Structure 1
Amino acid sequence: MVDRTTQVQNVSPLLTEVLADLEKDFASRQEILRQAREKDVEFISQAVSESHTFLEEIYEQFSSYMQHLKNTEPDASFLTEFEIYIKDASAMLATKLQTAERHVLSESEWDRTWHNIDLAFDSAFVANEDKIVYEIYSNSENSFDDSEKVEIPIGEIIAQHLSEILPESRQRAKALMEQGRLDISQQVRAVWDVTRYNLEDTQAGLANYSPKKLETMTESLQNGLRRAINRLDDVVLETNRVWDDIKNELQSSQNQVLNEVSSDIRETSAGGKTKFIKTSKFLRRVVEQARISLIPRVAQTLTIIIASLKRTFYLPSRLRLDSVKTSQARKSIDEYDALSSENLYKRLPSIYSNLFSLESPVGEEFLLGRQKEYKIVQEALLRWSSGIPCSILNVGEKGSGKTSLINCCQKRFFSEFETLRGNIVERLTTEAELVQYISRLFGLPENLTFEQLVQTINAGEKRIVILTGCHNLYLRQMHGFDAFRGFLSLMAQTKLKVMWILSMDKYAWRYLVRAVPIDKLCFDYLINIQPMSKEDIREAILTRHNDSGYQLRYLMNDELRHKLRKQFKIWPDVTERQLQKALEDEFFDALYAASSGNISAAIFYWLNSLNFAGNYIEVQPLEPPEFQFLSDLSIEQSFALLAIMEHGTLNADELATVLDITHPDSLYILPLLANKRLIRKTKTSVSKANTFEESEGGYSINPIALKPIADELNKQNLIY
């Protein structure tokens, strides 16, 4: 191919020669990637090798310490030595992993990687055929008849398709590398999170050491450290996967270029000139205009046309979507209820159970999207500490994070003040009951009068008092609001000495505002806990999960498979990473819709979707229960649900009083709703004479049914 113009009689040899040159060109590009990959994998391996070695040493040393604890009764000096080693090892490992992360993201390495990708995806053709034109005599019987001659601008055709395809492919390759580097960096950071959590957990166990806890502590620590080591091993595997994706991207571009060039040469040799090229260019311009004009349906349709013209391979078969495991049929509320509470947490590994426990206090790193609420508490505290009376009412749905917010605020802001906490679990309806409860909370004699209680509190030191469960301060009956009114009076008269922080269910507060002639301004600050955003729900769950050290693998069912086929059909190349990202997006979209932003409900659904398989967790597609049957409830049942929502919990006697029905009717309605899994029986621990006695509680709304019930009652105009 050296002449400016070459005459041939048949297009087949010409096509074979052109495609062979293109394949050589792309082979040289793949060689550039291969060499870059070798250097990059070696670089990443060196970056994490020191941390890997040190983690193995920590694992061996901890095993030795644990074996010593198992064989002998440890003295205080040994436990102290062990704790010191944990602190030192944590500090050294943190330094090594931070160094590794800096190396992974070093600018010089980035520059070298970008340069190699630019070379591999350069649109210039190595064979330099941009000036070559071939003349084809399409009719073999009239050989060398100029009337039958067709010119084929080989160089122009090749240059055009390389310039159209490779720049876009290069951008995708760079995006893959950039995302891959960030993933690797996060993987290194996750190793530290997993190790830190397990070391801190062990340290806490040593502070309250008991031989009974040794086996669980040893197993948890060794498994956690082994998962951290495995995650570090996966860093190199992840690096190779990124380069595999980039290699496949270049291979896809090669196939596309070969198909386009072959198609144009055949089209032109048959007398079609560059009809396909012109049509393709026209369609691309129309698609771009459609995208700019925000007409997504038109853009999608035309993109599919282009994909069809380019003979793109059908994606699902390449990704083996048909072979992905499907999930179980849609769960009923009965199935969810059977897996709830104790049964749910029993099937979880201990580290996962601790991270996702709804009972234990949540760390600040897990409480997301609450900066506005933090500022309110901080402002109120500043005003109160400067002598201005202040009180806070914290309102939100059950499970929305009210208690977690207060826990974090107490840890962050209240350390300089004496803080009392009380959870009102018994129903208080009279002023006398209120005085007795508050006196007990302050450590005062329980026989004080209301006035004496106020005087005693005001004569004492400044303090912060946190009260949760304040929906138990009333009962909807004649004189059933005396305790609540008494509390408002107590609060107003003691605000200078006490900053009162109350927590109450949303529906209880809504009812009180309508039922009791009180001014909302009786509370200086109102924190209305809003549902968490989809992004915050996702981050809150994955932040907890990342500390566990397990890796996630999202599965799909028939519905998701069908949806992804439509979504991916027009994409010429989708990697396993992109497929997992799409499945993760789908899961958290469904999780947010099912939980309505309630973090407790979201955690419940998340845990119910998990299957543990070695170091991996398989995440089944979320299939929340159906609640269509709510529309079939009787009016009596609807009013019973409303009453329970407005009171937090109700027993049979209280429900009968609130609804003005007979006790037998109440005993009939409550079990009926419980059998439908809409409410649950609760147990209450009551403080009596410095001891806790478990008493028979009432019924509360099933957390996963709260939002559907509220929606149904709203349709019936029972709540607003």
Structure 2
Amino acid sequence: MAILDKFQNSISFLYKLFDIDEKKEISIIEEAEEKIQLPDEYLERFTLYPIQNKDFLKNRDQELKSLELAYENWKIVNSPLLVVNDPGEGGTSLLHASTYIYPTAKILETNQAIDSYKKLIGLITKALQIEEEFKSLKDLEKHISTLEDKNIIILENIERLFIRRVRGFDLLEDFLLFLHATKTKIYWIVSVNKYSFYYLNRVKYFSSHFPSIIHLNPILNEQLKEEILSRNNGYNMVFLKPNKISKKIEKQLKKESKEERQIHLEKIFFKKLFNFSKGNISKAILFSRNSAYSVKGKTVFVKPTEIKVLDDLSLDDLFILEAIFQHRSLSIKELNIVLRNSDRQSRLSIEKLLERQLIRPTTTINKKVEYRINLMYLDILKELLKERLNRNFR
């Protein structure tokens, strides 16, 4: 009875909030129009950040076992490991949490472009705590061969080592040679995003350098639901009717009691979340955050967010988006190099894509602004690249 009273009080408040006459037979919240500003305390629950500790990592037991096995294999055959993942799938969290397997591992986070041999050598020598300076990877390789201790290095986002232009792959190729030359002394764990993996395989047979490859699996639907409910812990969730709904479901909702409608609307919400996220944890979290309609006290009203249809992007727009996919993120300067655009052309194109929220800005540790794909449009844009640019990737 206490649960029923709590639910009825929430419904009563909902009617008052949106001026709905309780005497009328109106299903929950379908008449509401304008979304209300959400409190920071609630939004903070949906912040995306990488997990640093195995104890807090969820739903990746199989991948952790694969990492353990790969490490044991390296001790025998010295094979470097490649981890392939989409943005938002939790690759960074997995690699950071996996350091319980090798506590001395050094993590090289290449969130910014590594556009020179000097930068790459500096990152590696710093990770290995080598104070001596080297002019080439070959010189560094000779020094590493003299080391007594073996090391583990996790290199994230290897796609930041190339730029799509003439001779823009030299640094990446020389690093791969360096990786092979040092693999008896260093266990290399490298990550790459799925689209870069597809692209590099087509142009450079990239996967042939890694006998051991782990592809992250999608998170199961029930685990996604558990994650979203846990982030709403302490709030009473009231599910609202989607903007778009079939006539059949509309009729069913009208026949149901308020309690039955809530159960039905909750199922609709999570079905939409599952279809959108496709097992990507970050996409599920973003979908849920964007679906929060309003918060009043400890009640949150949830209405499935609608993703815009993208049917009017030009070929130039798609080429820019593909370039960002290939490199994970690009600055205006890098975009000029890749597409041979003028600075003005690139800025105008970026502004247009920002306005449509298809990309988002991010700032590197050096305060340089780069642009990434908005996760909310990740799969939609991939499908457009398949259909209109004939990109045959999985």
Paired with 2:307 and 2:161, the residues of 1 have a C-alpha distance of 33
Q: 1:377 to 1:577 in 2, by over 3 A?
A: farther
Structure 1 equivalent of residue 282 of structure 2: 600
Paired with 1:368 and 1:614, the residues of 2 have a C-alpha distance of 29
Q: Which runs of structure 2 are paired with 1:59-208 in the superposition (5 Å)?
A: none
Match of 2:72 among 379, 382, 391: 382
Q: 1:464 to 1:434 in 2, by over 3 A?
A: same
Structure 2 equivalent of residue 127 of structure 1: none
Paired with 1:320 and 1:381, the residues of 2 have a C-alpha distance of 65
Paired with 2:67 and 2:107, the residues of 1 have a C-alpha distance of 16
Structure 2 equivalent of residue 135 of structure 1: none
Asked if 1:373 corresponds to 2:63, the answer is yes
Structure 2 equivalent of residue 536 of structure 1: 223
Match of 1:617 among 292, 300, 308: 300
Q: Which runs of structure 2 are paired with 1:329-340 in the superposition (5 Å)?
A: 329=33
Structure 2 equivalent of residue 418 of structure 1: 104
* 1:379 alignment partner AA: L
Paired with 1:376 and 1:487, the residues of 2 have a C-alpha distance of 25
Whether the 8 Å CA contact 1:454–1:490 is kept in 2: the answer is yes
Structure 1 equivalent of residue 2 of structure 2: 237
Q: Which runs of structure 2 are paired with 1:642-681 in the superposition (5 Å)?
A: 642-681=322-361
Paired with 2:246 and 2:259, the residues of 1 have a C-alpha distance of 16
Which deviations, in whole Å up to 9, do the C-alpha atoms of 1:592-643 show, x marking residues without a partner? 2233332212211211222322233222x21323123xx3222222211111
Structure 2 equivalent of residue 113 of structure 1: none
Larger deviation, residues 530-539 vs 675-684: 530-539
* 1:237 alignment partner AA: A
Give, in angstroms, the shift of residue 569 of structure 1: 7.6
Give, in angstroms, the shift of residue 646 of structure 1: 0.6
Q: 1:578 to 1:464 in 2, by over 3 A?
A: farther
Larger radius of gyration: 1
Structure 2 equivalent of residue 167 of structure 1: none
Give, in angstroms, the shift of residue 564 of structure 1: 4.2
Q: 1:531 to 1:240 in 2, by over 3 A?
A: same
Whether the 8 Å CA contact 2:290–2:305 is kept in 1: the answer is no
Match of 1:457 among 133, 144, 155: 144
Q: Which runs of structure 2 are paired with 1:309-708 in the superposition (5 Å)?
A: 322-326=26-30, 328-329=32-33, 347-349=39-41, 353=44, 355-361=45-51, 367-384=57-74, 386-411=75-100, 413-414=101-102, 417-445=103-131, 447-448=133-134, 449-458=136-145, 459-518=147-206, 520-546=207-233, 549-557=234-242, 559=244, 563-567=248-252, 577-610=259-292, 611-619=294-302, 621-628=303-310, 631-686=311-366, 695-708=367-380
Number of equivalences: 374
Whether the 8 Å CA contact 2:253–2:261 is kept in 1: the answer is no
Q: What percentage of aligned pairs have identical amino acids?
A: 28
Q: 1:423 to 1:713 in 2, by over 3 A?
A: same
* 2:363 alignment partner AA: K
* 2:95 alignment partner AA: I
Paired with 2:34 and 2:80, the residues of 1 have a C-alpha distance of 46
Paired with 2:212 and 2:259, the residues of 1 have a C-alpha distance of 47
* 1:325 alignment partner AA: I
* 2:124 alignment partner AA: I
Whether the 8 Å CA contact 2:360–2:372 is kept in 1: the answer is yes
Paired with 1:367 and 1:712, the residues of 2 have a C-alpha distance of 33
Whether the 8 Å CA contact 1:396–1:504 is kept in 2: the answer is yes
Q: 1:564 to 1:367 in 2, by over 3 A?
A: farther
Paired with 1:365 and 1:551, the residues of 2 have a C-alpha distance of 28
| Partner-residue secondary structure (3-state), 1:699 | strand
Which deviations, in whole Å up to 9, do the C-alpha atoms of 1:389-434 show, x marking residues without a partner? 13221112211211122233224x33xx311112113322444442
Whether the 8 Å CA contact 1:430–1:482 is kept in 2: the answer is no
TM-score, normalized by length of structure 2? 0.83
* 2:327 alignment partner AA: H
* 1:603 alignment partner AA: I
Whether the 8 Å CA contact 2:87–2:193 is kept in 1: the answer is yes
Q: 1:612 to 1:675 in 2, by over 3 A?
A: closer
Q: 1:327 to 1:394 in 2, by over 3 A?
A: farther
Larger deviation, residues 645-654 vs 526-535: 526-535
Match of 1:713 among 382, 385, 393: 385
Paired with 1:405 and 1:682, the residues of 2 have a C-alpha distance of 22
Which runs of 5 or more residues in structure 1 are unaligned? Answer: 1-235, 242-318, 687-694
Paired with 1:602 and 1:622, the residues of 2 have a C-alpha distance of 12
Give, in angstroms, the shift of residue 709 of structure 1: 1.4
Q: 1:468 to 1:239 in 2, by over 3 A?
A: same
Paired with 1:558 and 1:699, the residues of 2 have a C-alpha distance of 31
Paired with 2:4 and 2:28, the residues of 1 have a C-alpha distance of 24
Whether the 8 Å CA contact 1:609–1:622 is kept in 2: the answer is yes
Whether the 8 Å CA contact 1:532–1:599 is kept in 2: the answer is yes
| Partner-residue secondary structure (3-state), 2:112 | coil
Whether the 8 Å CA contact 1:431–1:486 is kept in 2: the answer is no
Q: Which has the higher helix share?
A: 1
TM-score, normalized by length of structure 1? 0.47
Give, in angstroms, the shift of residue 586 of structure 1: 0.6
Q: 1:613 to 1:240 in 2, by over 3 A?
A: closer
Paired with 1:627 and 1:705, the residues of 2 have a C-alpha distance of 10
* 2:196 alignment partner AA: A
Paired with 1:528 and 1:377, the residues of 2 have a C-alpha distance of 11
Which runs of 5 or more residues in structure 2 are unaligned? Answer: 7-22
Paired with 2:315 and 2:111, the residues of 1 have a C-alpha distance of 29
Paired with 1:597 and 1:321, the residues of 2 have a C-alpha distance of 37
Q: 1:584 to 1:446 in 2, by over 3 A?
A: farther
Whether the 8 Å CA contact 1:368–1:540 is kept in 2: the answer is no
Give, in angstroms, the shift of residue 590 of structure 1: 1.1
Higher relative contact order (CA 8 A, sep 6+): 2
